[in-house]
Structure 1
Amino acid sequence: MTETVVIKLGGNATEQLTPQFFDQLARWRAAGVRVLMIHGGGPQINAWSERLGLTVHKRGGIRVTDADTLAVTQAVLLGVVQPALCLTLHQHGLPVMGLNTTDNALLTGTLLDQQLYGAVGKITQVNTTVLNRVLADYVGVLAPLAQTSDGTMLNVNADMAAVAVARALGATRLMMVTDVPGVIVNGTTAATIDPQQASRWVQQRIITSGMEAKINAAIDCVHAGTQVNITNDVTRPGTMVLSAAM
């Protein structure tokens, strides 16, 4: 069975990739491992929103998305972040293909909670046929946008998108690459975390905002049998997220 690794890159992480990162991708591909990257773009979207006079508003790490924010999100993800990331991968000798939901309806979704979040969606279907075909030859770089059955665009939290795609592809591993080495508790990176620990740390406000969203998404993924690591370096384990049964 072909192994698949899904890498979720936060917006900061896309601009802080090291030579070791690209070396690891090359080693995976040489070993026959398929690699799909799902990229966020939070800092870049924030910067452009503020430049355009739009208020940035998040709830539980999820961006509240009105029509103007959705337009900016699409423009930044597909016109700024993804092209830059694809260019960098190409410069490091990796075959790469930029992807988004309008390519053969790759990601189909429904509204998460329109009253609470606006045009934010959750993924209900992944076109695995097309993704599997692409990943046989390329490192895929996928933006976390989905569309409804009637073609309405949806903003999707990149952590949630990565989990949905990893589960659909039957990925062996999901690497959630961020700008910190893992889940930090009292100044130390936790080697592992399980749902009970996560709940306590959220209540104690040790885990907040974006990391809270990552943990919630990761727990959904490990229940489906995919190993999840939260890290700032794909060559290091960071924090491994365990299911309740482990």
Structure 2
Amino acid sequence: MDDLIVVKIGGNAISQLKPAFFEKLKYWKHLGKKVLIVHGGGPNISKLCEKMGIPTEKKHGIRVTSKEVLELTKLVLLGESQPELVEKLTDNGLPVSPLSCACSHLLEGKYLDEAKYGSVGMVTKVNKMAIAGALWQRIGVMAPMCVTEDGKWLNVNADSCACSIASLLHAEALYLLTDVAGVMENGQVIPKLDRTYCSELFARKVITAGMQPKLNAAFTAQAMGVSHVIITDDLDNHGTEIVKEEEDDDATCVSNV
């Protein structure tokens, strides 16, 4: 799907979306692009788990998902975050297709490491025909979950989910929206980042655990052929572009935003 743009937004960002976000989506639709939004809901999942007295834990930025946490995750993502985002898009004049991974097995996957993470998965298969139909003249809204071949639900890191979808559908662009202007070093945005320098930033602990899964997923998507992979806080900001080493000799330079 060369005309597909995948956008990932966090759960907190849904309530803070600005008019420019919706205008950008309208512009893309005007150009004939297909748009799929993958949304998170992590903070609300944590709050609900705390309220219910269910302990939570993260390892390497990934939420360990017990059966109890999985049920609350489904409740938050499909019962709160997705309806809120759908309502905001609709209120801004954008036609929407709310999507569930279990419907027509839109997203299939497998356990990431059941012994370590519990019911956490990675997306391995996308129902391209069904998604293409859902995105016909509408913006898709998808929660980061998948089902196994035999129908078991799995929680998926939202960044990894968006990157897997973009890779498997051969999207032309992937935007990972976060709460900072891009990947930061010394208070500045790194405009272009290759894997070698990223590994150096990991080693120097410049990049924290929360950003690591995002970057690992972003580099995987870029390696699998997604032409433009951007980490930013605004669709109109350049942010940090993920590049190959040979793409730009100045890939590791920094600039003010």
Give the stretch that moved more between structures: 8-17 or 71-80: 8-17
Question: Normalising by structure 2, what TM-score?
Answer: 0.93
Counterpart of 1:239 in structure 2 is: 240
Give the superposition deviation at 1:193.
Answer: 0.9
Give the superposition deviation at 1:215.
Answer: 0.3
Query: Aligned pairs, how many?
Result: 246
Give the superposition deviation at 1:167.
Answer: 1.1
* Residues in 2 aligned to 1:54 and 1:34: alpha-carbon distance in whole angstroms: 39
Other structure's SS at 2:211 match: helix
Counterpart of 2:128 in structure 1 is: 128
Counterpart of 1:30 in structure 2 is: 30
Question: Normalising by structure 1, what TM-score?
Answer: 0.97
Alignment of 1:21-170 (within 5 A): 21-170=21-170
What is the percent sequence identity of the aligned residues? 41
Q: Is the 1:146–1:155 Cα contact (8 Å) retained in structure 2?
A: yes
Counterpart of 1:211 in structure 2 is: 211
Aligned amino acid, residue 185 of structure 1: E
Other structure's SS at 1:12 match: helix
Other structure's SS at 1:124 match: strand
Give the superposition deviation at 1:225.
Answer: 2.1
Counterpart of 1:228 in structure 2 is: 229
Counterpart of 1:15 in structure 2 is: 15
Q: Deviations over 1:8-32 (max 9, x none)?
A: 1111222211100000000100110
* Residues in 1 aligned to 2:57 and 2:82: alpha-carbon distance in whole angstroms: 23
Aligned amino acid, residue 168 of structure 2: A
Alignment RMSD: 1.1
Q: Deviations over 1:194-239 (max 9, x none)?
A: 1111111111111112211100000001112211000010111201
Aligned amino acid, residue 40 of structure 2: G
Aligned amino acid, residue 35 of structure 1: V
